[in-house]
Amino acid sequence: MNTLTTTVPKVRLIIIGDEILSGRRQDKHFSKLVELLSQRGMHLSGAEFISDERDVIAATLARSFATPDIVFCCGGIGATPDDQTRQAAGQALGLELVLHPEAARLIAERCAENEQRGQGSGDMSLPENQQRLQMGVFPVGADIVPNPYNKIPGFFISNHTFMPGFPVMAWPMMEWTLDTRYAGFHHATTRVEHSFLVFRLPESRITPALEELEQKWPGVKAFSLPSMGDTGHPHIDLGVKGEPQAAAEALAFLRTEVIRQGGQLTPPAK
Q: How confident is the model at residue 95, as a pLDDT?
A: 98
Per-residue pLDDT of the chain (270 residues; tens, 9 = 90+): 333 345 789 999 999 999 999 999 999 999 999 999 999 999 999 999 999 999 999 999 999 999 999 999 999 999 999 999 999 999 999 999 999 999 999 999 999 999 999 998 999 999 999 999 999 999 999 999 999 999 999 999 999 999 999 999 999 999 999 999 999 999 988 888 999 999 999 999 999 999 999 999 998 999 999 988 666 678 999 999 988 999 999 999 999 999 999 999 988 876
Q: What is the DSSP letter of 80?
A: S
Residue 174 CA to residue 37 CA, distance in Å, equals 10
Q: How confident is the model at residue 3, as a pLDDT?
A: 33
11-185 matches 192-260 in fold = no
> Going by C-beta distance under 8 Å and a sequence separation of 6 or more, which residues neighbour residue 245?
1, 2
Quick check: 104 and 136 in contact, CB under 8 A? yes
Q: Give residue 251's identity as a one-letter amino acid code.
A: L
Quick check: 134 and 103 in contact, CB under 8 A? no
Q: How many CB atoms lie within 10 A of CB 165?
A: 23
Q: Give residue 149's identity as a one-letter amino acid code.
A: Y
Domain residues of the chain, as ranges?
11-185, 192-260
| CATH no. for 192-260 | 3.30.70.1130
Q: Is the pTM of this model over 0.85?
A: no
Phi first, then psi, for residue 226 (nearest 5°) are: -70, 150
Q: Give residue 145's identity as a one-letter amino acid code.
A: V
Residue 107 CA to residue 122 CA, distance in Å, equals 10
Q: Which CATH superfamily is domain 11-185 in?
A: MoaB/Mog-like domain (3.40.980.10)
